[in-house]
Amino acid sequence: MKTNAGQMTVETSLQINAKPQTRKLPSASTIAFVILVLTAPLFASHYWLMAIITPVMILSLAGIGLNIKTGYAGMVSVGAGAFMAVGAYGMFNFAAHGGITNFPLALLLGGISAAIAGYLFGLPSSRIKGFYVMVTTLAAQFFVEWLFTKNAYFYNYGSVPTITLPPMTLFDLDINGNNTIRYYVVVIIVLLMTLAAKNIIHSHVGRNWMAIRDMNTAAGVIGIDSARYKRLAFTIGSFYLGIAGALWAFLFLGTASTLSFDINRSFQVLFIIIIGGLSSIRGNFIGAAFILLLPILIDYMVKATLGSALNPGFLSNMNKVIFGSLIIILLIKEPEGFDKMLRNLTGYIKRRKS
């Protein structure tokens, strides 16, 4: 019975994931989304640009990184925050100690630091799987938090363990002061890296990841070096997380510490990919928007209906209860996330038309 169940998964996932080899044009919704984000500074308020769209885009990128590990290569990871921290602290240290003030170069080096950390913490994954992989990522989480708090070198011997980027240049543009430039830097990096991720996933590398995810042993039988591809997923996924972490620290928060990348951040990114949909690029964006906007919405609704009579401590706890309940309801009702829900919906509309 177990064997049957296994074969079932392979078949169904092949049906879902085997996209036709011919290159498809981006869908209308994708184009609309890209145009909307690129033109947003023309009509959206500063609050929307810097406090809503920027964090949603950055966490979507983090979601893509985690999705490469968890959604495509099938390794449960709860250490997303650790690799984001390595990216941010890596970039900071190359700038502070290495004197690199070129923004793209420092960012790239931050991403590479995270990729190396991902490679190292991904090494045990060639021998183990499931919850045991989760433990290696948790080890990364706690070790990285400790490393960057206890060793003053990593925050340049400041009086508090926080990091702020020294003045940076970007092709003669002032990245530190101008909000519009900051917005565009984030959006363009995220969009380009999303495109790159899409191409990786549709290449033989992505197909091998999915084969390993669906059945490790079977993938080995057809000649896929699963240990190598698992390490590769850890490295590339961590590179994405590292870039997202650096953007989060310096272009969204401005000043960051390990508290910005604690276990709750890791869970947040995990929720993003689950709610949005595992093994879906679009899902990361939907998930990030949902996870970031939901608390704001709950807060607004509760205040609007119950007024400010309640004390704020009680309010934040009720916020937590509602958030947790919604997660559970979503998992019960739509285990494959919003992406699946959207696919069902478009399928339904298409059937109605024809």
Q: Which residues bind other proteins (CB under 8 A)?
A: 1-3, 6, 70, 76, 124, 127-128, 130-132, 135-136, 138-139, 142-143, 145-146, 149-151, 215-218, 221, 263, 267, 270-271, 274, 313-314, 317-321, 323-328, 331-332, 335
Nearest distance in Å: CB 323, other proteins: 6
Q: What tokens does 227 get? A: 């240990």
Q: What tokens does 177 get? A: 């002061």
- Taken in order 187, 191, 197, 201, is the CA torsion positive or negative? positive
Hey, is 255 helix, strand or coil? Answer: strand
Nearest distance in Å: CB 193, other proteins: 25
Instruction: Return the closest-CA partner of residue 175 out of 96, 92, 101, 95.
Output: 101
Q: Which is nearer to other proteins, 221 or 309 (CB)?
A: 221
Nearest distance in Å: CB 115, other proteins: 20
Q: Which is nearer to other proteins, 93 or 176 (CB)?
A: 93
Q: Which is nearer to other proteins, 40 or 263 (CB)?
A: 263
Give the DSSP H or E segment for 174. strand 173-174
User: What residues does 193 pair with on adjacent strands?
Assistant: none
Nearest distance in Å: CB 89, other proteins: 16
Nearest distance in Å: CB 225, other proteins: 17
Contact 249, 260 (CB under 8 A): yes
Q: Give the DSSP per-residue string, 189-226.
A: HHHHHHHHHHHHHTSHHHHHHHHHHH-HHHHHHTT--H
Give the HSE-up count for residue 311: Cα atoms under 13 Å, Cβ half-sphere. Answer: 2
Q: What tokens does 92 get? A: 């900071």
Q: Which is nearer to other proteins, 328 or 345 (CB)?
A: 328
Whole-number Å distance between alpha carbons of 213 and 71:
8
**15 C-beta neighbours (distance < 10 Å), count:** 8
Nearest distance in Å: CB 139, other proteins: 4
Instruction: Return the closest-CA partner of residue 244 out of 107, 122, 144.
Output: 107
Nearest distance in Å: CB 92, other proteins: 20
Tokens 């003030």 belong to 101
C-alpha distances (whole Å) from 99 to each of 158, 164, 250, 304, 307 are 17, 14, 17, 50, 52
Q: Which is nearer to other proteins, 46 or 127 (CB)?
A: 127
Q: Which is nearer to other proteins, 333 or 350 (CB)?
A: 333
Q: Which is nearer to other proteins, 54 or 208 (CB)?
A: 208
Nearest distance in Å: CB 144, other proteins: 9
Q: Which is nearer to other proteins, 146 or 300 (CB)?
A: 146
Q: Between 226-247 and 54-67, two packed helices, what is the crossing angle to 10 degrees? A: 170
DSSP 252: I
Nearest distance in Å: CB 202, other proteins: 24
Q: Which is nearer to other proteins, 29 or 264 (CB)?
A: 264
Q: Tell me the helix, strand and coil percentages in the chain, rounded to 5.
A: 80, 5, 20
